[in-house]
Chains A and B, each alone.
Chain A
Amino acid sequence: MHIESSKLDRLAILSRLALSADERFALGADIERVLGMVSALARVDVAGVTPMAHPDDASLRLRPDQVTEADHQAALEAIAPEMRGGLYLVPKVLE
């Protein structure tokens, strides 16, 4: 499958990746080859087969509606790249 330049740009935006020109060239070609390899799946008869999302086909457990975690704010603040007044700092979003 051919990945057009505009599609690769779109994938990079969705992936939140800024690709260099060299990366665009190499990764674009790699993605085409991987998609070519996985195209074998299209030839399999899967009519009526239920998709398998989990090895045990288990649904997620529910836990009792009780507070179980302590307040970890100080520990989490300590590992944040930029933090002030208990708030994560990011570049300005609103003008």
Chain B
Amino acid sequence: MNALRFADINGWRQALLAAPSAAALTASSQAMARASQAQLNACITLPELASPTHATGAALAGIPYAHKDLFCTRGIRTTAGSKMLSTFVPPYDATVSARLADAGAVLIAKSNMDEFAMGSSNENSAFGAVRNPWDSDRVSGGSSGGSAALVAAGVVPFATGSDTGGSVRQPAAFCGVTGFKPTYGRVSRYGMIAYASSLDQAGVIARHARDCAEVLQQIAGFDPRDATSVERPLDDFRAACDLGVRGLRIGVARELFSAGVRPAVAACVRAALAQLQAAGGVLVDIELPRLPLSIPAYYVIAPAEASSNLARYDGVRYGHRANAASDLAELYSRTRSEGFGTEVKRRILVGTFVLSAGYYDAYYLRAQQVRRLIAEDFARAFANVDVIAGPTTPDVAFKLGENTADPLAMYAADINTVAVNLAGLPAISVPCGLVDQLPVGLQLIGPAWGECKVLAAAAAYQSITDWHQQRPPAPAASGSPR
């Protein structure tokens, strides 16, 4: 076994400094990714490796990483998990891609994902489902399932993700790794293929909160190329990991423990809260009364934005194009019908409905009003607490195929994550136990621009527990390269 399997960023850094050939070491990460394919199917593309630059002293010099396949990478295929973009090679880098390259990180894999980030199980990928390293009969979670699985399998010390309704936190919870979604506007969306623009935010998946902070330090910050990027000073996220929880007021929202949360999952999270309390945190009961409305509000707003964003895929400028269409309307409709999978079509149709004449006010406008009420619930709570805690998901990873016939059951499982996106807040999922030998996630939510509080609480928890150091029971089996 590769000695660097399951190493964190610092472990890689030390090994790179000592290695006679940094390139060979980084290549070993890609070899692990290649070997994991047969078991996990977590990669869509294994690109040619850039030369590691660890001698430059850049923050992530030579550190291998997996990049969710919706971040554009110049000259490297970027599919968004869709047949529509299965041959798309972007002519430019996303800002996140460029910043990671500037920091010296080495891209070893474009990771599998639900098509256009629409999904909670990674079963909606045109490149096949990702399997959970803890149990290959179960889903990895989604939509950043490939990234979470590669970190969980110890292939890379960190991976990127994007989070529109939980797509970083939920797969992190299902795979037993740490997933961080920053405040909306903190990380540039430029070159990140859009799903729902007012909700999408780039994030990081790693073994622990300190590594999330290391990476966030590199990718965060104002970008004039993203119209919703917010210009404000960059906090010291790494230093925040040393702040501890003494005196930190931790809101325990009753609603995050209801809505079908499995008692054994709730028990793990309550045990984690007791440990945070023992470390000096102050638990405060709070209410988020509108939380149950977050699923209906999200499943109006996100499809509406998706139907608009995905209108660009028309077979004319880039991406898939249907053959032998007789007129322009047929070119559009055949291209899109061939290029999009079922879940994407479902959300485009729902989004088109709620934006159509006669229904806009009753659905879209009303969902935006409810969105504000949900955000106000959080604002009220954060007047009295520093972070809010609860389970990331109602249950552990489910079996492949278990929910595919019932999209509403799949949507309902997003209950504890989507409200955070509606309000635009930062949140992290950290491993906090096992149920049925499968990981459980503790979610810590912060106020807008309160990344440091979230990281402080998460790092403090991980300094007194070792759930984040647990490994899946079986190593990845060897497989064939793609």
Residues of A within 8 A of B (CB): 3, 8, 11-12, 14-19, 23, 26-27, 30-31, 33-35, 37-42, 44, 46, 49-56, 58, 60-61, 63, 72, 75-76, 78-82, 88, 90-93
Of the candidates B227, B334, B349, B408, which one forms a contact with A15 in the assembled complex, judged by CB atoms under 8 Å apart? Answer: B349
Distance of A44 Cα from B408 Cα, bound (Å): 21
For residue A12, give the distance in angstroms from its CB to the closest CB of chain B.
7
For residue B297, give the distance in angstroms from its CB to the closest CB of chain A.
7
For residue B298, give the distance in angstroms from its CB to the closest CB of chain A.
9
Distance of A30 Cα from B52 Cα, bound (Å): 49
User: Is B465 positioned at the interface, with any CB of A under 8 Å from its CB?
Assistant: no
Task: Please name the residue on chain B nearest to A68 by beta carbon.
Answer: B224
Of the candidates B300, B314, B317, which one forms a contact with A41 in the assembled complex, judged by CB atoms under 8 Å apart? Answer: B300
For residue A60, give the distance in angstroms from its CB to the closest CB of chain B.
5
Of the candidates B317, B328, B373, which one forms a contact with A49 in the assembled complex, judged by CB atoms under 8 Å apart? Answer: B373
Q: A17-B349, A41-B363, A91-B326 are in contact. Are A49 and B369 (CB under 8 A)?
A: yes
Residues B346 and A27 in contact, CB atoms below 8 Å apart:
yes
Residues B349 and A90 in contact, CB atoms below 8 Å apart:
no
Distance of A46 Cα from B365 Cα, bound (Å): 10
Distance of A18 Cα from B349 Cα, bound (Å): 12
Query: How many positions in chain B have a CB within 8 Å of any CB in the partner chain?
Result: 73
Residues A41 and B366 in contact, CB atoms below 8 Å apart:
yes
Residues A14 and B91 in contact, CB atoms below 8 Å apart:
no
The secondary structure that dominates the B interface is: helix
**Chain B residues with Cβ under 8 A from A78's Cβ?**
91
Task: Please name the residue on chain A nearest to B332 by beta carbon.
Answer: A16
Q: A42-B362, A52-B368, A76-B317 are in contact. Are A18 and B334 (CB under 8 A)?
A: yes
Residues B375 and A92 in contact, CB atoms below 8 Å apart:
no
Residues of B within 8 A of A (CB): 88-92, 183-185, 198, 224, 227-228, 230, 292-293, 295-297, 299-300, 307, 311, 314-321, 325-334, 336-337, 340, 342, 345-346, 348-350, 352-354, 356, 362-363, 365-373, 375, 407-408, 411, 422-425, 448
Residues B372 and A52 in contact, CB atoms below 8 Å apart:
yes
Residues A52 and B296 in contact, CB atoms below 8 Å apart:
no
Q: A41-B293, A91-B328 are in contact. Are A81 and B318 (CB under 8 A)?
A: yes
Pick the 3 closest A-B CB pairs, nearest first.
A55-B424, A51-B368, A75-B91
**Chain A residues with Cβ under 8 A from B356's Cβ?**
11, 14
B314, B345, B373, B423 pick with most chain A CB within 10 angstroms: B345
Residues A19 and B337 in contact, CB atoms below 8 Å apart:
yes
**Chain A residues with Cβ under 8 A from B185's Cβ?**
55-56, 58
Q: A42-B362, A49-B369 are in contact. Are A15 and B331 (CB under 8 A)?
A: no
**Chain A residues with Cβ under 8 A from B408's Cβ?**
33-34, 37
Residues A17 and B423 in contact, CB atoms below 8 Å apart:
no
Task: Please name the residue on chain A nearest to B405 by beta carbon.
Answer: A26
- What are 27 inter-chain pairs, A to B, with CB distance below 8 A? A15-B352, A16-B332, A17-B337, A23-B342, A27-B345, A27-B346, A30-B346, A31-B346, A34-B299, A37-B411, A38-B299, A40-B292, A40-B296, A50-B369, A55-B375, A55-B423, A56-B448, A60-B227, A60-B228, A72-B92, A76-B318, A79-B318, A81-B319, A81-B320, A90-B316, A90-B328, A93-B327
Residues A76 and B293 in contact, CB atoms below 8 Å apart:
no
Q: A58-B230, A79-B91 are in contact. Are A37 and B296 (CB under 8 A)?
A: yes
Distance of A80 Cα from B366 Cα, bound (Å): 39
**Chain A residues with Cβ under 8 A from B296's Cβ?**
37-41
**Chain A residues with Cβ under 8 A from B373's Cβ?**
44, 46, 49
Distance of A2 Cα from B350 Cα, bound (Å): 13
Task: Please name the residue on chain B nearest to A62 by beta carbon.
Answer: B227
Of the candidates B198, B314, B348, B363, which one forms a contact with A54 in the assembled complex, judged by CB atoms under 8 Å apart? Answer: B198
Distance of A39 Cα from B296 Cα, bound (Å): 8
